């Protein structure tokens, strides 16, 4: 095992108050992780250590260069730790997870039966960890919430109010346990949402195919992929010819030809043929490392409002101490001064917002989305402009037959029947669309033709009742087979102007007819566009590479009034930047490799689960169901979360101000004020964790919009 320094933040001139992210090259065993964290926390100057054994990650907060170097030495000494045998499993520490709840059990069930002297001893012992934590922060020159908690406990001990001491330590412990439980379980949900099942592939070794787990594939290995199978790696074709469906990468439903020397990508599908691929990407690009990166990003990217709450919480500490000192100077009453320390704004401010953010992220996984950081919840709430890529996002990237057009002396039904008869032998999407169209019209086609000859990436040829039949692209029919297509020139121009792909049929060297193929809108697209307007989006824009006429027709069907036509893939990011510079807060929705720059340029980028790997990685929000209704859920979740944060903030200020005033004017005993304050903090924290959209559900998609 080896540890690597993957990220570090520190002061501009010194190494004080820094933090560093350390990652192991394998998952860590749970017991050894706990031991390692304890060793690091014993180092003077190490203020905090966060560990995630599942992804082999340690986040270490240090106060000086000396403590930083000592921490690195401890890690170097522990590089011989055994690897974790089981990757999937709950990362639980019984002592940490149950500590707060055991304290509650002890306080309610055990404490009442203890003698008075033992209750005092128990209260003093339970106070020690909080006192040590506060003193440690103070010795390092930091006046934070921990110092205020320690001062409140110390004041209660001085007043010999052991009941208040017990209650304070109980509630503080419960708060910490609640926060840790929520954080851990939220991150577990994120991990499970992002983890993909390991696939088995056929590896070619000395001319023999060997079934091999994908995890064992190395750069340079040869992988065999046949018709109908997904390509599990990025690589270069070394043998064979195939038609590759790259709709998950480019959004285009029509397959492309790949032969020796051609590049192929993970997530695409071999529609026809058989190819041997030389693997080009391994190592840190494995699925596990992608999951680890997503989880670390989710923890690191705090919402702006979360950062503000934490800063306000720390700023409130000096104010609380100053007010307590002022009260003591005026009244000379230590009890009244202590009541100020026992009631502060910091705890709820610092705890409630991150809990609300993590709870929302966790709820998002159950609603069909992965939100990769708190700041993107805030961005989802703030966005006022939404930009859609057309192909694969607003549309299905699954072709259907829109029109059947026959030449003179040929019947429409005969053209469709014959083309379906020939195409049913092939598995590619266009062939399936033709066969389905014939089935929908109840056209029965008997197997009367001779053997079908398939020309990869061009078309098919056969014979029927003594006549030679050709089915394929315009290039194949017109250029390769020299068939005149002018009899349908007007229909060709009209269908092409609508952005449809054309499939031609010729009989004995003469054009018989054509099929117009289109990519229909997603079934839910129209209703989602309408709901997005209701959710407060002022502008909804569609980007497409189609010409003006085609773009306008598609936009009208979707209910979109603003679109940009003939947009090159490289220009999408420029459109997003232009909108941003004009004052728009842009939410970009895309699914292809060419959408990645635009997704990263927007205030928040959203990708579909059936999109390319790159788009899913670059996007800030991933919809884990192939349904645009996830956008509605994401918007509502973000808005509900922000409303709850603001509500909790107001409740914190109002309630704690009341308790503080009660203590100052001797209306509330100090112990009662402390109990009410801490119960308020717990209540606000529980409110932050409540589900937001318990009644939200995706509606079944209706029929496709043509």
Residues 427 and 506 in one domain: yes
Residues 227 and 276 in one domain: yes
Between 89-93, 202-206, 274-278, 598-602, the lowest mean confidence (pLDDT) is in 89-93
In a domain, 120, yes or no: no
Confidence band (pLDDT; 50, 70, 90) for 406?
very high
Residue 579's contacts (CB-CB under 8 Å, 6 or more residues apart) are 385, 387, 539, 541, 586
Active site residues: 389
Q: How far is CA 696 from CA 363, 561, 636, 686, in A?
A: 11, 28, 9, 21
Q: What is the pLDDT of residue 323?
A: 77
CA distance linking residue 294 with residue 359, whole number of Å: 17
DSSP conformation letters of 71-87: HHHHHHHTTTPPPPS-S
Q: What is the pLDDT of residue 90?
A: 33
Residues 372 and 409 in one domain: no
Phi, psi (rounded to 5 degrees) for 473: -70, 170
Residues 514 and 406 in one domain: yes
Q: What is the pLDDT of residue 360?
A: 86
Confidence band (pLDDT; 50, 70, 90) for 351?
low
Q: Identify the bridge partners of residue 237 per DSSP, sorted by sequence position.
A: 277
Q: Please determine, for residue 598, whether its predicted confidence score (pLDDT) is greater than 80.
A: yes
Residue 287's contacts (CB-CB under 8 Å, 6 or more residues apart) are 195, 196, 198
- pLDDT tens digits, one per residue of 80-95: 554 333 332 333 333 4
In a domain, 237, yes or no: yes
Q: What is the pLDDT of residue 669?
A: 72
**Helices 670-689/162-194 angle, 10° precision:** 10
- pLDDT tens digits, one per residue of 604-631: 999 887 666 656 767 888 888 888 999 9
Residues 547 and 633 in one domain: yes
- pLDDT tens digits, one per residue of 361-378: 878 888 888 887 778 888
Residues 408 and 382 in one domain: no
User: Do residues 566 and 547 touch, judged by C-beta distance below 8 A?
Assistant: yes
- Mean pLDDT for the chain overall: 75
Residues 492 and 531 in one domain: no
- pLDDT tens digits, one per residue of 66-123: 888 888 888 887 765 543 333 323 333 334 444 444 555 555 555 555 677 777 787 7
CA distance linking residue 432 with residue 248, whole number of Å: 18
What integer is the mean pLDDT of 273-286? Answer: 73
Q: What is the pLDDT of residue 416?
A: 93
Residue 201's contacts (CB-CB under 8 Å, 6 or more residues apart) are 211, 212, 213, 214, 217, 223, 225, 232, 233
Q: Please determine, for residue 203, whether its predicted confidence score (pLDDT) is greater than 80.
A: yes
Q: What is the pLDDT of residue 173?
A: 66
- pLDDT tens digits, one per residue of 215-256: 788 889 998 888 767 777 788 999 998 888 765 444 455 567
Residues 384 and 409 in one domain: no
Q: What is the pLDDT of residue 114?
A: 63
CA distance linking residue 568 with residue 228, whole number of Å: 31
Q: What is the pLDDT of residue 450?
A: 47
Segment (H or E) for 257 = strand 256-258
DSSP conformation letters of 525-588: HHHHHHHHHHTT-SEEEEE-SS-HHHHHHHHHHHT--EEE-S--GGGHHHHHHHHHHTT--EEE
Q: What is the pLDDT of residue 656?
A: 76
What integer is the mean pLDDT of 572-585? Answer: 91
Three-state SS string across 121-167, please? Answer: HHHHHHHHHHHHHHHHHHHCCCCCHHHHHHHHHHHHHHCCCHHHHHH
Phi, psi (rounded to 5 degrees) for 403: -140, 145
* CB environment 9-33: b (16+ within 10 A), e (fewer): eeeeeebbbbbbbbbbeebbbbebb
Confidence band (pLDDT; 50, 70, 90) for 175?
low
Q: What is the pLDDT of residue 671?
A: 64
Domain boundary among 23, 51, 77: 77
In a domain, 111, yes or no: no
* CB environment 454-474: b (16+ within 10 A), e (fewer): beebbbbbbeeeeeebbbbbb
Q: Please determine, for residue 684, whether its predicted confidence score (pLDDT) is greater than 90.
A: no
CA distance linking residue 92 with residue 693, whole number of Å: 28
- pLDDT tens digits, one per residue of 635-657: 999 999 989 888 888 887 788 77
Q: What is the pLDDT of residue 455?
A: 59
Closest to 324 (Cα-Cα) out of 171, 138, 147: 147
- We report the CATH number of the domain holding residue 37 as 3.30.1370.10
Residues 417 and 501 in one domain: yes
CA distance linking residue 574 with residue 594, whole number of Å: 12
- CB-CB neighbours of 178 under 10 Å: 20
**Helices 162-194/287-300 angle, 10° precision:** 140
Residues 541 and 633 in one domain: yes
Q: Please determine, for residue 494, whether its predicted confidence score (pLDDT) is greater than 90.
A: no
Confidence band (pLDDT; 50, 70, 90) for 344?
low
Residues 528 and 627 in one domain: yes
Tokens of 561: 């009034």
Phi, psi (rounded to 5 degrees) for 595: -90, -15
CA distance linking residue 383 with residue 541, whole number of Å: 13
User: Do residues 377 and 394 touch, judged by C-beta distance below 8 A?
Assistant: no
Rank 194-203, 439-448, 484-493, 643-652 by mean pLDDT and report only the highest: 484-493
CA distance linking residue 130 with residue 149, whole number of Å: 7
Tokens of 220: 């340079």
Residue 321's contacts (CB-CB under 8 Å, 6 or more residues apart) are 143, 148, 151, 341
Domain hosting 62: range is 3-77
CA distance linking residue 127 with residue 140, whole number of Å: 20
Block residue for tokens 């639980």: 92
Q: What is the pLDDT of residue 638?
A: 92
Block residue for tokens 């509650």: 104
- We report the CATH number of the domain holding residue 407 as 3.40.1110.10
Residue 435's contacts (CB-CB under 8 Å, 6 or more residues apart) are 420, 423, 424
Q: Please determine, for residue 261, whether its predicted confidence score (pLDDT) is greater than 80.
A: yes
What integer is the mean pLDDT of 661-668? Answer: 74
Quote the number of domains for the chain: 4
Q: Please determine, for residue 266, whether its predicted confidence score (pLDDT) is greater than 90.
A: no
Domain boundary among 473, 493, 518: 518
- pLDDT tens digits, one per residue of 316-341: 677 778 877 887 787 777 777 776 76
Name the residue with higher pLDDT: 144 or 367: 367
In a domain, 381, yes or no: yes
Q: Please determine, for residue 415, whether its predicted confidence score (pLDDT) is greater than 90.
A: yes
The dihedral through the CA atoms of 526, 700, 639, 375 has a sign that is: negative
**pTM exceeds 0.75:** no
- pLDDT tens digits, one per residue of 37-68: 888 988 988 888 887 765 567 888 888 888 88
Pairing of strands 539-543, 562-564: parallel
Q: What is the pLDDT of residue 619?
A: 80
Q: What is the pLDDT of residue 196?
A: 37
Residues 537 and 631 in one domain: yes
Q: CA 254: distance to chain centroid?
A: 29
Domain boundary among 54, 77, 100: 77
In a domain, 487, yes or no: yes
Percentage of the chain modeled with pLDDT above 70: 70
Q: Please determine, for residue 357, whether its predicted confidence score (pLDDT) is greater than 70.
A: yes
The dihedral through the CA atoms of 427, 432, 435, 436 has a sign that is: positive
Block residue for tokens 């989802």: 380
- We report the CATH number of the domain holding residue 238 as 2.70.150.10
Percentage of the chain modeled with pLDDT above 90: 17
In a domain, 408, yes or no: yes
Q: What is the pLDDT of residue 370?
A: 83
């Amino acid at each position: 095992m080896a540890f690597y320094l993957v990220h570090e933040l520190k002061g501009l001139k010194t190494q004080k108050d820094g933090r560093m992210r350390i990652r192991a090259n394998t998952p860590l065993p749970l017991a050894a992780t706990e031991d390692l964290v304890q060793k690091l926390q014993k180092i003077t100057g190490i203020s905090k250590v966060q560990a995630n054994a599942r992804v082999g990650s340690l986040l270490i907060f240090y106060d000086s260069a000396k403590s930083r170097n000592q921490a690195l030495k401890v890690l170097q000494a522990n590089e011989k730790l055994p690897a974790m045998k089981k990757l999937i499993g709950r990362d639980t520490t019984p002592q940490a997870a149950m500590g707060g709840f055991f304290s509650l059990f002890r306080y309610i069930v055990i404490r009442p039966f203890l003698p008075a002297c033992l209750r005092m001893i128990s209260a003093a012992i339970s106070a020690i960890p909080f006192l040590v934590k506060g003193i440690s922060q103070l010795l390092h020159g930091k006046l934070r919430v921990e110092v205020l908690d320690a001062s409140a406990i110390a004041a209660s001990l001085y007043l010999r109010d052991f009941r208040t001491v017990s209650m304070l330590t109980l509630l503080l412990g419960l708060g910490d346990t609640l926060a840790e439980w929520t954080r851990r379980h939220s991150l577990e949900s994120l991990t499970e949402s992002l983890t993909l099942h390991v696939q088995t592939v056929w590896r070619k070794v000395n001319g023999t195919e060997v079934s091999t787990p994908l995890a064992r594939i190395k750069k340079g290995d040869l992988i065999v992929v046949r018709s109908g199978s997904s390509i599990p790696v990025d690589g270069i074709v070394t043998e064979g010819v195939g038609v590759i469906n790259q709709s998950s990468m480019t959004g285009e439903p029509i397959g492309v030809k790949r032969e020796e020397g051609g590049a192929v990508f993970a997530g695409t599908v071999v529609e026809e043929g058989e190819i041997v691929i030389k693997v080009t990407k391994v190592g840190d690009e494995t699925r596990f490392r992608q999951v680890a990166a997503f989880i670390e990003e989710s923890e690191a990217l705090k919402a702006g409002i979360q950062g503000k709450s934490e800063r306000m919480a720390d700023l409130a500490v000096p104010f609380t101490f100053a007010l307590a000192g002022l009260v003591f100077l005026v009244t000379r009453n230590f009890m009244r001064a202590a009541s100020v320390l026992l009631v502060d704004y910091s705890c709820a401010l610092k705890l409630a917002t991150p809990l609300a953010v993590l709870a929302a992220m966790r709820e998002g996984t159950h609603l069909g989305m992965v939100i990769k950081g708190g700041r993107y919840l805030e961005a989802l709430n703030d966005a006022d402009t939404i930009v859609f890529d057309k192909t694969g996002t607003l549309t299905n990237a699954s072709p259907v037959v829109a029109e059947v057009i026959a030449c003179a002396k040929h019947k429409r039904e005969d053209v469709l029947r014959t083309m379906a008869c020939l195409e049913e032998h092939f598995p590619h999407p266009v062939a399936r669309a033709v066969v389905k169209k014939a089935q929908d019209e109840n056209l029965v086609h008997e197997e009367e033709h001779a053997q079908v000859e398939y020309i990869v990436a061009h078309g098919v040829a056969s014979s029927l009742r003594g006549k030679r039949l050709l089915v394929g692209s315009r290039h194949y029919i017109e250029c390769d087979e020299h068939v005149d297509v002018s009899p349908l020139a007007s229909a060709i121009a009209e269908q092409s102007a609508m952005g449809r792909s054309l499939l031609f049929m010729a009989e004995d060297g003469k054009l018989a007819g054509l099929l117009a193929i289109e990519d229909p809108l997603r079934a839910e697209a129209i209703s989602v566009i309408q709901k997005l307007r209701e959710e407060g989006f002022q502008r909804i824009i569609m980007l497409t590479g189609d010409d003006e006429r085609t773009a306008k027709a598609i936009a009208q069907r979707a209910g979109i009034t603003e679109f940009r036509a003939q947009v090159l893939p490289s220009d999408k990011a420029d459109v997003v930047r232009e909108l941003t510079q004009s004052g728009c807060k842009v939410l970009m929705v895309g699914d292809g490799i060419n959408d990645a720059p635009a997704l990263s340029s927007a205030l928040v980028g959203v990708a579909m689960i059936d999109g390319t790997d790159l788009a899913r990685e670059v996007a800030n929000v991933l919809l884990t169901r192939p349904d645009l209704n996830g956008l509605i859920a994401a918007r509502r979740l973000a808005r509900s979360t922000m409303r709850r944060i603001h509500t909790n903030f107001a409740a914190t200020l109002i309630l704690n101000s009341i308790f503080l005033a009660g203590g100052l004017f001797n209306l509330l005993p100090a112990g009662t004020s402390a109990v009410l304050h801490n119960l308020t903090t717990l209540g606000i924290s529980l409110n932050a964790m409540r589900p937001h959209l318990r009644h939200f559900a995706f509606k079944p998609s209706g029929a496709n919009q043509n």
